[in-house]
């Protein structure tokens, strides 16, 4: 199977003085540029990205997924359905923890700290995105074994996958740290390797290339 291509960019135009709607639009636009960077790395700069009912549609056998917040944007391409999620490592409120984790998962995690919760939350988001379903199926996606403590940095070889299941089918999730964020990636059927496009230490322009996401 060809490698999966993953691109990260910093999120532009997130100053508090900018209206919230404009900040969200800047996140979405930057995520599209990340996709175009990944497409260039894959040798398909002409790739276009369409959605139907808010679900990403394949292009000539390539599948894609994006995630973003007010700090980073993430875009990924693979030859199989995939889902990605990017979140700041945070212990969310008790009501959300109760909705995301059942008692078996709490037992597998042990103490539910910020990293443990974020690992489960991002993994479930990635698996559900790859399946093309929403959070209404959250209870169908579960951790199946104690997670490995190994987490590598984005750009490095992946550590052991997080052992997840969706509707009884194995759905392993690769996870990486990036500054104070956690990245999660699930490719249906697995993958042989990841090719990363990461920001340089001097920063990276968020103005090019032009995107074709609709």
**pLDDT tens-digit series, residues 14-68:** 999 999 999 999 999 999 999 999 999 999 999 999 998 888 999 999 999 999 9
Per-residue pLDDT, 191: 65
Token code pair at residue 60? 């000539």
**What span, in angstroms and rounded, lies between the C-alpha atoms of 75 and 85?**
9
**What span, in angstroms and rounded, lies between the C-alpha atoms of 68 and 24?**
9
Per-residue pLDDT, 68: 94
Are 174 and 188 in contact by the 8 Å Cβ rule? The answer is no
**What span, in angstroms and rounded, lies between the C-alpha atoms of 153 and 142?**
24
Partners of 152 in beta bridges: 176
Per-residue pLDDT, 143: 95
Residue 192: pLDDT over 80: no
Query: Beta strand 55-57 with 72-78: parallel, antiparallel or unpaired?
Result: unpaired
Query: Beta strand 194-197 with 4-10: parallel, antiparallel or unpaired?
Result: parallel
Cα dihedral across residues 80, 7, 129, 52: positive or negative: negative
Q: Which residues of 80-99 are buried (b: 16+ CB within 10 A; e: fewer)?
A: bbbbbbbbebeeeeeeeeee
**pLDDT tens-digit series, residues 82-92:** 999 999 999 88
* Structure-model confidence comparison of residues 211 and 32, the more confident one: 32
Residue 98: pLDDT over 90: no
Token code pair at residue 169? 């089918």
Q: Which of 186, 187, 64 is nearest to 124 (CA)?
A: 186
Per-residue pLDDT, 110: 85
């Amino acid at each position: 199977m060809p490698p999966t291509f993953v691109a990260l960019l910093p999120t532009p135009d997130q100053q508090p003085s900018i209206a919230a709607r404009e900040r969200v639009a800047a996140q979405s636009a930057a995520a599209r540029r990340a996709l175009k960077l990944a497409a260039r790395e894959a040798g398909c700069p002409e790739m276009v990205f369409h959605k139907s009912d808010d679900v990403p549609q394949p292009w000539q056998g390539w599948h894609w997924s994006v995630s973003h917040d007010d700090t980073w944007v993430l875009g990924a391409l693979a030859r199989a359905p995939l889902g990605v999620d990017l979140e700041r490592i945070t212990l969310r409120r008790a009501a959300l923890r109760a909705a995301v984790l059942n008692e078996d998962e709490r037992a597998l995690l042990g103490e539910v700290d910020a990293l443990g919760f974020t690992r489960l939350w991002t993994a479930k988001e990635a698996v559900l995105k790859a399946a093309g379903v929403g959070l209404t199926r959250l209870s169908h996606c579960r951790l199946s074994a104690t997670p490995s403590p190994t987490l590598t940095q984005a750009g490095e070889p992946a550590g052991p996958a997080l052992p997840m299941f969706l509707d009884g089918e194995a759905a392993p999730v690769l996870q990486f740290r990036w500054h104070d964020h956690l990245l999660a990636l699930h490719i249906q059927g697995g993958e042989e390797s990841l090719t990363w496009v990461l920001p340089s230490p001097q920063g990276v322009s968020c103005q090019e290339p032009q995107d074709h996401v609709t």
